[in-house]
Amino acid sequence: MKRTGHGLTLLEMLVALVITALLVGIVTQLLFQAQRAEALQARQSPTAKFNALKLAWLREAMEGTMPRPLGDSESLRGDRTEMQAWTTAPIWAEPVGPLRVTWRLRRLGDPSAPAWELWVLHALQPEGQRLLAWSGARGGWRYLDEDGEWHETWPLPPLPGSLKNLGLPRAIELQTGLPGLSVIRWVPQGSAVSLANRRLLEQ
């Protein structure tokens, strides 16, 4: 096919149209994907922010764990699925002073698809409120003793003639299936741990 003057041949025009159509299709698809990503982020953002807020509440309450006040027989008692402790920062409660809070893990679903919920109960919220939820087999509390060993129950059996491990654990750990937070660890303010060691333990 020969050129006529300075115009384009029919083949060149067809090639240009095909390339233009391909570019328009690619750009349209990219714009659609960007809009869908923005819409998904807009839907997930409030949930993500609320989860971050609840984790901040949990950290504040756990760091506020304190030894037992006068007149109470127990400081902190816990096992894998439940922990009871006094805290200066109870969740979902007006600032009325320290409260004894129960942190209860509930396992849901069948063994092939387990899930967990963390509930908070105290005198001002006796029916309890669900704080966190995640899927997977991982879930449980652990407690660090003065010798640097982790245990699934607290307090530990007293040793004859020893005052070790009678108060608060050095650190408290919650094992979860939360994305990026498989382990959440706190050092109670009432724990006899230096500031530098607190930072190391909470990493």
- pLDDT for 119: 94
- pLDDT for 26: 74
**The two structure tokens encoding residue 155:** 């307090």
CB 171 within 8 A of CB 144: yes
**What is the average pLDDT value for the chain, to the nearest integer?**
78
**Nearest 5°: CA angle at 152, between 55 and 134?**
35
CB 202 within 8 A of CB 188: no
CA distance 158 to 3: 100
| Look-up of token digits 């382990």 | 183
Q: Determine which helix (DSSP H) or strand (DSSP E) holds 39, and give its type and residue range.
A: helix 10-63
What's the length of the chain?
203
Which regions of the chain are under pLDDT 70?
1-7, 29-30, 32-48, 69-74, 95-96, 162-163, 165-166, 189-203
Q: Between the CA of residue 45 and those of 38, 50, 72, 176, what are the distances in Å?
A: 10, 9, 43, 21
Can you give the residue ranges of every domain in the chain? 57-202
pTM of the model: 0.68
**The two structure tokens encoding residue 163:** 């005052």
